[in-house]
Structure 1
Amino acid sequence: MSPLIEENVAFANNVELNVTDLKQHLYCARIPYYFYVMPVPRPVSYKMKHGVVQHLELDRLEKRRGYRSYGLTEGERLFHLQVKSESLGIYGKLDLTIAYQKKGTTHYIPVEFKYTENRIFTNAKYQATAYAMLLEEHFQVPVHEAIIYQIPTKTVHPVKINDGMRKHVKDSLTVIRRMLESESFPEPTSRARCHDCEYRRYCNDIQ
């Protein structure tokens, strides 16, 4: 094995991935490529800026909300909890974590806020699954459910966490690391996803 390949393998194996990298990879595998392999400036869109403002406002309002919409009568809110998994090699900061008691044990539900009126895509569900896996390792308790909260419509979308989803998260992280190792340029995603992508101008094969 050449020194360059050994260096790439070491980098791929040691890099800590953000949960957001997983979500972006499942939407379009080229996004983590542009971030890690061929770093390029990332334009900040109006939608991204507006989403930050909406998150801050929701944080303020969330503190006064009850727990009924989450299927609970009571609990505790943990805002922006930062967690890391040594076994998975990923880290992330959750929008909200709800802690609640059941049969004398504390359980946790990750809640991810989304500023979109579109349907919830599969990549967001696996992002929520990854957060659930981080909480499982951090608190050493199983997490069976996550929640995606659509800000514009105030809609709660429960996501059931199962072993198949956990496996897909692990497999996807492996694929990302293999891409980092080989530095191979991924195939494009569905063209329908390219319209609002901030990286679109870097893809010369996308018209």
Structure 2
Amino acid sequence: MNEGDELVNIGHINQYLYCPRRYYYINYFDTIEMNFYLKDGQLKHQNQSRRGGWIRELYLKSEKLGIHGKIDVLESKNIKSVGTTLTPIERKRGSSYHDNDEVQLAAYCMLLEDYLDEPVRMGYLYLFGTNERYAITITDWHREKVLQVVQAIRNMTLDNIPEFVDNPNKCEKCSTVQYCLPEETKMLEREDAKKVRRERNE
């Protein structure tokens, strides 16, 4: 980490991977709005039952990795051969998880590794939609992706708006769609393209 670089919030890594353009508007214009999906996710986090062997909401930061964040839940287990182990659990509102969720979990594992000074090779994604948790092995790909996204976020500038994502379905549930204006922007771009073609043919 270079002097002057700010620590990247791990939650922002997930947002950036989901849609860099969405993250741009949230980061520079504070445009995040409360919609059903955000509110539902918050309520599910608040109402999650407590159980023994859990450490809830541990905040950590790492200057070396350039990240900081609050781990939802840490599961503590005593294993005879290795002693006490701590495993991060990241909770999600849906019924499935995606690469961006895995990378976010990997970032928490890396953060915990740096704090404990020992390997953390797996974590869990708990899905409220299925009421199940899924073990995720943290690979070199996950670790490299975390570092790549951290650098990409740091390189982001106000005058360089990211392109739209390839999946338009993401826009339907996006809390910044009224600022990003994907349909309106694409319509204007098509009109501009038509104008350029007409001028070339004249």
- Which band: TM-score by shorter chain? 0.7 to 0.9
**1:50 is matched with which residue: 30, 40, 44?**
40
- Cα offset for 1:40? 3.5
Within a 5 Å distance, the mapping from 1:26-45 to structure 2 comes to 26-36=17-27, 38-45=28-35
Q: For 1:43 and 1:33, how far apart are their aligned partners in 2?
A: 14
Q: Does 1:62 align with 2:53?
A: no
Within a 5 Å distance, the mapping from 1:70-81 to structure 2 comes to 76-81=53-58
Counterpart of 1:23? 14
Within a 5 Å distance, the mapping from 1:45-124 to structure 2 comes to 45-58=35-48, 61-63=49-51, 76-102=53-79, 103-117=81-95, 119-124=96-101
**1:153 is matched with which residue: 130, 133, 137?**
130
Counterpart of 1:72? none
Residue-by-residue CA offset, 1:132-155 (whole Å, 9 max, x unaligned): 001000111101111000113211
Residue-by-residue CA offset, 1:140-178 (whole Å, 9 max, x unaligned): 110111100011321111111022210111011111111
One-letter code aligned to 2:162: P
Runs (4+) of structure 1 exceeding 4 A deviation are none
| Unmatched segments (≥5 aa) in structure 1 | 1-9, 65-75
One-letter code aligned to 2:35: S
More displaced 10-residue stretch of structure 1: 103-112 or 187-196: 103-112
Which structure has the larger Rg? Answer: 2
Determine if contact 2:76/2:85 at 8 Å carries over to the other structure: yes
Counterpart of 1:142? 119
- Cα offset for 1:183? 4.0
Counterpart of 2:160? 184
- The alignment-based identity, stated in percent, is 28
Q: For 1:33 and 1:41, how far apart are their aligned partners in 2?
A: 9
Look up the SS of the partner of 1:206 in the other structure.
helix
Q: For 1:50 and 1:120, how far apart are their aligned partners in 2?
A: 16
Determine if contact 2:77/2:86 at 8 Å carries over to the other structure: yes
Structural RMSD (CA): 2.0
How many residue pairs are counted as aligned between the two chains? 181
Q: For 1:41 and 1:48, how far apart are their aligned partners in 2?
A: 14
TM-score, normalised to structure 1's length?
0.80
One-letter code aligned to 1:43: E
Q: For 1:203 and 1:50, how far apart are their aligned partners in 2?
A: 22
- Cα offset for 1:131? 0.5
Q: For 1:115 and 1:205, how far apart are their aligned partners in 2?
A: 25
TM-score, normalised to structure 2's length?
0.82
